Structure 1
Amino acid sequence: MIPSIPQSQAFKKTYSVYVGLFFLFLLAPLIVVAVFSLNDSLFPSLPWEGFTLDWYFEDSKERRGLFHDRAIVDSIGTSLVIAVCVAVMSISVAVSNALLFERYHFRGKSVLYSLMLLPLVIPGVILGISILSFSSGIANNLEDNYGMDLELLRPGFLLIVLGQFAFISTMATLVISARLRKFDIQLEEAALNLGASRFDVFRTITLPWLKPAIMGSAIVAFLMSFENFNTTLILAGSDSPLTITLFDRMREGSTPVLNAVSTLLMLGSGALALFSLFVQRKKEQ
């Protein structure tokens, strides 16, 4: 709907109802999940048996809450460590990529840029299988020929980080490149003419300009890593991240503990999103 074009009252009301129904469609499943995490029942379904926080804090044989479920708590910790590593690596490479593709012209630049975008169009499962096949081939060759057993090349923490980094770094590069494209390069030239070194120019001028995009990209990279499933499923080892642990639990049967985990993730994601908006708005003021 274009605000500058006059609209009838009937159209405005219909449009408002449509928008309301659309957001209700998006929020209804999340609300249902959160509500049933508070249901005093062994199963996340009707009828409503009463309000309880047991699925968060109880520690008994019949009911083991989220914060006393060692497998889930450990998987959350594993996912947090993986997400932080992926976010740091992705932002570091993304800043370098943005400077390379936006500031320099060289032979084969378009080909290199296309290769950088390639992980975005490859399905996550295929990406995971490719990384696993490549690393396992190297590990098997080293073990057969030299007797070296490199566990780092087997399914586990390192392969998960590399698999997620492969496509998340591309997303971060696109965001930071878009911000860098709006930068007035004359500011850098003026600082260089005044005697500043290139490192000082980057640290005091370019980097502060990129800071909102870097922080936004870091939050997006963290969330994308934390909730990734397809690639992680192929590359996970014995220490499973949260998404794989939840998948294994769902195969055994849904319980309100899974609803509690989902509610905690919704609150955490919402808090990060609000923090990102707050930081960006503060920078604009």
Structure 2
Amino acid sequence: MPSSPHFKWIYRAYVVVFFVFLISPLVAAGAFAFNDSLFPSLPWRGFTLDWFFGPAEPKLGLIHDDRLLRGMGNSLYIGLVVSALAVAAGTTNAFLFERKSFPLKGVLYILMIVPLVIPGVILGIAILLFASMVANFADRQLGLFITWLRPGIPLIVLGQVSFLTTITTLVIAARLKKFDIALEEAALNLGASRLRVLLTVTLPYLFPALFSAFIVAFLVSFENFNTTMILVGSDAPLTVTMYDRMVKVGSTPVLNAVSVVLMLGSGLLALASVLIQRPSKTA
């Protein structure tokens, strides 16, 4: 549609202001990770890498902070497990809702979407109460002590999978909806088994969506706090560890150093997802 030069300049100015507003907190958080000060605030006291590599207090760096590294390792482990389970379940759901017709399909689809609109705290409390109820019943009536139903990493995985499966399902189903089923029929007519068609025709087509769904699930899992906080045990992931540090010690530049690492890691994963999607545009 035709527009005046003034409107174009207003639109460009709006875009610039929007991105400045979006990026400024990230830039500030990253800058204070290199400030030679015990507090993440102005004035600027010089450039330093101590908050990344410092060997001792009061400037104990990230790579020497055992608790933060342990939390990062827990988050990495939880994210990988949750992402794999969510992609597997999401792929199954995508085929179920896109390829099959059955009674109450619409109702089940709505139930699958519901976890996205439930606040994370409420979801975490509900999962904790249900798991505790089942674990207590098994302990009292059957004499079984089911540890994975108690607060800890297994319960965190269960809680995160409950809503991340919805996200992966939507991502994979959107790709599956564009698939030409005639390709599968042609392979079947040429004598290929259904398993071979799935492995050589369908899944390769879905791979960009599978990879993107895995990346999205991993990033959401890694930064999740609300649900994780309710279900956490002795092995705390990074978000809970950082929150605990903030409450007990207060904000320190080492937390800004963690933020820099997370921003770089998230950016690289997002870039990888974009690059994986590029070939599909010409398919």
The normalised TM-score by structure 1 is 0.96
- The yes-or-no answer on 1:271 pairing with 2:268 is yes
**C-alpha displacement at 1:13, in angstroms?**
1.3
Alignment match, 2:229: 233
**C-alpha displacement at 1:250, in angstroms?**
1.2
**C-alpha displacement at 1:6, in angstroms?**
2.0
The C-alpha deviation readout for 1:12-58, integer Å capped at 9, x for no partner, is 11111111000000000000001000000000001110000000000
Report how many aligned residue pairs link the two structures: 281
Once the two structures are aligned, what percentage of the paired residues are identical? 57
Gaps of 5+ in 1: none
**C-alpha displacement at 1:278, in angstroms?**
1.0
- Report 1:189-268 matches (<5 A): 189-252=185-248, 253-268=250-265
**C-alpha displacement at 1:216, in angstroms?**
0.6
Q: 1:48 aligns with which of 38, 44, 56?
A: 44
Gaps of 5+ in 2: none
Q: 1:159 aligns with which of 151, 155, 160?
A: 155
- The yes-or-no answer on 1:282 pairing with 2:279 is yes
- The yes-or-no answer on 1:105 pairing with 2:101 is yes
Alignment match, 2:168: 172
Segment of structure 1 superposing worse, 79-88 or 275-284: 275-284
**C-alpha displacement at 1:283, in angstroms?**
3.9
- The yes-or-no answer on 1:73 pairing with 2:69 is yes
Distance 1:34 1:190, change over 3 A: same
The C-alpha deviation readout for 1:131-161, integer Å capped at 9, x for no partner, is 1001111122222234332221110011100
Moved segments of 4+, more than 6 Å: none
- The yes-or-no answer on 1:130 pairing with 2:139 is no
The C-alpha deviation readout for 1:211-249, integer Å capped at 9, x for no partner, is 111111010000010000110010000100000011111
Partner SS state of residue 67, structure 1: helix
Aligned amino acid, residue 275 of structure 2 = F
Separation of aligned partners in 2, 1:121 and 1:145: 36
Aligned amino acid, residue 186 of structure 1 = A
Partner SS state of residue 24, structure 1: helix
The normalised TM-score by structure 2 is 0.97
Separation of aligned partners in 2, 1:186 and 1:83: 36
Separation of aligned partners in 1, 2:15 and 2:218: 30
Separation of aligned partners in 2, 1:68 and 1:23: 35
